[in-house]
Amino acid sequence: VAYIPTLPDALALMVGIFHEYAGKDGNACSLNKGEFKDLIDAQFPQVFQNSKDKEGIQKLMNDLDRDKSGEIDFTEYMTFLASLAVVCNEYLLESLKGGKKPCK
């Protein structure tokens, strides 16, 4: 029987990947612009095709950087991932429309 991944696995993966990139240089508890770009390029190659667009990646960072520290801390990173999950979920529900309506 294959191991079925659980929510703690997903959480551990999110924590681990953050530190894999945040630890590259400078402050090991936050992602600077280069680290954030590397993370996006590696983890979301299809979704953010324009990460070579320097203006786009800077705009995304500015949006996520709530405390205007110039870097993405762990809480800001999790807010970003939670927003992506909400978008994924809405896309899923939208794609199911026309078939069995998933929600009341």
Closest approach of Cβ 21 to its own copies, in Å? 11
8 binds its own copies (CB under 8 A): yes
13 binds its own copies (CB under 8 A): yes
β-sheet bridge partners, residue 30: 73
Which positions ≥6 away from 61 have C-beta within 8 Å? 33, 36, 72
- In this complex, which beta carbon is closest to its own copies, that of residue 56 or of residue 79? 79
CA atoms within 13 A on the CB side of 41: 12
Q: Which of 49, 53, 84, 97 binds its own copies (CB under 8 A)?
A: 84
99 binds its own copies (CB under 8 A): no
Structure tokens at 100: 């069995």
Which of the residues 35 through 64 are near its own copies (CB under 8 A)? Answer: 43-44, 47
Coil, strand, or helix at residue 30?
strand
